[in-house]
Amino acid sequence: MPNDLDTVFAALADPTRRTILAMLLEDDMAVTDVAEPFEMSLAAISKHLVILTRAGLISQEKRGRVKWCKLEPDALRAASVWMQGFGQFEPVNLDAFERFLEVELPSGDDPEAI
């Protein structure tokens, strides 16, 4: 499992690959359509797609002459479960923390408070 997580997070580390995944949320896409919005070669996009495929985040299949990409959302399940483990901690409300400090700690103006 750790290796799978490493592969998924490594694939997600690149902004181009995250953009590709977001594009595939809408629908399956041909490789040429995936490449269209990017200012890079089709070969470079293909390398990104290989990484996403190896991570299990997408699948590719040939339909006729066209290679299609499909999002595989279940591949993110293990990563999502792992990240949710960190959700057990409440986010710190800095305004409330500042108010708490003002009430509980003496102000710096009072020399007797030290």
Type of residue found at 108: G
The parent domain of residue 94 ranges over: 2-106
Residue 110's pLDDT is 53
In a domain? residue 21: yes
The CATH number given to whatever domain includes residue 88 is 1.10.10.10
Q: Please count the structural domains in the chain.
A: 1
In a domain? residue 114: no
In a domain? residue 46: yes
pLDDT by residue for the chain (114 residues), tens only, comes to: 456 889 999 999 999 999 999 999 999 999 999 999 999 999 999 999 999 999 999 999 999 999 999 999 888 888 888 888 777 656 666 777 777 777 777 665 555 544
Residue 22's pLDDT is 93
Instruction: Look up the pTM and report it.
Output: 0.72
80-102 exposure pattern, b = at least 16 Cβ within 10 A, e = fewer: eeeeeeeeeeeeeeeeeeeeeee
Residue 114's pLDDT is 46
Kindly state the tokens that stand for 66: 């066209």
What 3-state class would DSSP assign to 92? coil
